[in-house]
Structure 1
């Protein structure tokens, strides 16, 4: 079991110790479930009360938060608690599952494929003709890589992933279990007789930059022509669909169950919330944010934040949602007024009689 002194952790994150500096840290846990000798973090003022109730011995705390460590406890004050926690989690990170350097005896490697020095090819992998696997890459058991595909150095591909023909994956990528890269795009047209569908050949490829991470169960379709592309440093969550000929910029973030229809363009640094979707041939400008469940059907300017379905400026959408909450009260008020008017009319008729 890994353990570190509070001084060692503080040195790694460049913080300031407040309180007991002799504590030994044996693990990291969220504030509500942490126990003695464990470290947690406080990034917002709303967690101050939780700290007083927590059994954690140490907390990483943002400098601007006014809080005391308490008896026999300590705080590590830093400028950014989230980034400091990243460093601590790396210190406690367990070793990954073993995948020995070299080619497992049960892997099938075509004679024309090239495997770089220090690469690891796990049990049951299939590497097709003319595939290139870069130096230090790691393919866990049961990965399939089809013809003429290139995988860059130090990229990790987890079990169950299928990378189809003629795709290019950069260096330092992480492809999580059961990802499909290079599947056919979803393209059909009605047949001339009107009784069926004609499949459109998908003859393009997929090009993925360096440092890209793709979550479990996600799919990146190949282009109908040219390539579906993903820029350097983009991070994609689980169960995400990227359709044919999409162009995703650098350092974008796509949360779980989000999706892009065909030929969508995302500028650099776009952030998509969970289950956000973008209609085909739409362009989302650099730095834009799409809220969870947003349905984007028209271009989004750079830096804009949108919500709702159809997606609109987040301030307008929030006003709309607030107005919708008032509808039941307005309906009730209307019904009351109608009844009151009827009684008044009936009374007036009675007086005239």
Structure 2
């Protein structure tokens, strides 16, 4: 078990230490659930009352929040409590699952594949023809990498993930369990005789930049032609659908159960709230925010926040909701 003194933690966070505690801190927990040897955090003033009844021996607090000290309890004031907590979680993080051997004997690796130095490949993995794995790539058990895919250095791929043929993956990516990269895009048209559907082949690929993280059970479909593109630093939550020929800029965020239809373009830093859906061929420009549960039917201007179904300017939509509420009471 990892344990630290309050002085060691404050040295890491470079905060202002108020008071002290002689407890050795062995973990982190929410204020209401913490025990005497755990530290917690407050990033919003509405949680301050919980501090008075909490058993936590220390708390990390944003500078703009007023809080009173307690006996044998420490307060660390920092610029941003959420970011400080993220840093602390890293040092308390347990070790990931270990590999007894770098390449498990049950893994199937085509003789034409190139495996970089320090790669680890778990049980029952499949690495296809002409695949290239950079240095330090980790494939946990039951990962499948199909032909001619290229994966950059220090990328980690968790169990059950399938990466289809000809995909290009950058450095330092993380794909969680059961991610699908490069599956066939969804496209059908009525057949000539009008009695069925004709499948539209998708012969492109997926290109994913550096430091991209994709949550469990999410899908990124390959393009009809050319590429579906995920830019550097994008963070994709669980159960997200990104359809064929979508292009995401840098550092976009998509929350759980959201989805992009075909040929959607996101600028840099776009945020898509959970359970939102974006119509095909829509462009959401840089810095825009789509509220959770919204349905976007048209382009969104840079920096604009939209909510609702169909999505519209947040301020206008809030006025509509207030008006409807008043009408319902009249």
Instruction: Name the CA distance, whole Å, in 2 between partners of 1:48 and 1:200.
Output: 57
- Are the aligned partners of 1:307 and 1:313 in contact in 2 as well (CA < 8 Å)? yes
1:242 maps to which residue? 242
Give the CA deviation at 1:92. 0.3
Alignment of 1:244-259 (within 5 A): 244-259=244-259
Instruction: Name the CA distance, whole Å, in 2 between partners of 1:225 and 1:94.
Output: 43
Instruction: Name the CA distance, whole Å, in 1 between partners of 2:260 and 2:100.
Output: 37
Alignment of 1:128-277 (within 5 A): 128-277=128-277
Q: Which 10-residue stretch deviates more, 21-30 or 251-260? A: 21-30
1:32 maps to which residue? 32
- Are the aligned partners of 2:21 and 2:58 in contact in 1 as well (CA < 8 Å)? no
Give the CA deviation at 1:101. 5.6
Q: Deviations over 1:225-259 (max 9, x none)?
A: 00000000000000000000000010000000000
1:110 aligns with 2:123: no
Instruction: Name the CA distance, whole Å, in 1 between partners of 2:53 and 2:180.
Output: 45
Where 1:17 maps in the other structure, the secondary structure is strand
1:293 aligns with 2:293: yes
Instruction: Name the CA distance, whole Å, in 1 between partners of 2:80 and 2:102.
Output: 41
Distance 1:101 1:10, change over 3 A: farther
Where 1:24 maps in the other structure, the secondary structure is coil
- Are the aligned partners of 1:246 and 1:263 in contact in 2 as well (CA < 8 Å)? yes
Q: Deviations over 1:259-294 (max 9, x none)?
A: 000000000000011011110000000000000001
TM-score, normalising length: structure 1: 0.92
Instruction: Name the CA distance, whole Å, in 1 between partners of 2:108 and 2:117.
Output: 18
* Residues matched between the structures, number: 330
Give the CA deviation at 1:326. 2.2
1:351 maps to which residue? none
Q: Structure 2 unaligned runs (5+)?
A: none
Q: Deviations over 1:12-31 (max 9, x none)?
A: 01001111253321110011
1:338 maps to which residue? none
1:124 maps to which residue? 124
Q: Structure 1 unaligned runs (5+)?
A: 331-353
Choose 1 or 2 for highest CA Rg: 1
Distance 1:230 1:162, change over 3 A: same
TM-score, normalising length: structure 2: 0.99
2:282 maps to which residue? 282
Where 1:103 maps in the other structure, the secondary structure is coil
Instruction: Name the CA distance, whole Å, in 2 between partners of 1:247 and 1:277.
Output: 15
1:63 maps to which residue? 63
Instruction: Name the CA distance, whole Å, in 2 between partners of 1:183 and 1:196.
Output: 23
1:5 aligns with 2:5: yes
Q: Deviations over 1:91-123 (max 9, x none)?
A: 100000113562110000000001100000000
Q: Which 10-residue stretch deviates more, 195-204 or 62-71? A: 62-71
- Are the aligned partners of 1:101 and 1:119 in contact in 2 as well (CA < 8 Å)? no
Give the CA deviation at 1:328. 2.5
Q: Which runs of 4+ in 1 moved over 3 A?
A: none
Instruction: Name the CA distance, whole Å, in 2 between partners of 1:42 and 1:329.
Output: 38
1:317 maps to which residue? 317
- Are the aligned partners of 2:21 and 2:57 in contact in 1 as well (CA < 8 Å)? no
Q: Deviations over 1:133-157 (max 9, x none)?
A: 1100000000000000011110000
Where 2:76 maps in the other structure, the secondary structure is strand
More helix by share: 1
- Are the aligned partners of 2:136 and 2:153 in contact in 1 as well (CA < 8 Å)? yes
- Are the aligned partners of 2:22 and 2:72 in contact in 1 as well (CA < 8 Å)? no
Give the CA deviation at 1:327. 2.8
Where 1:83 maps in the other structure, the secondary structure is helix
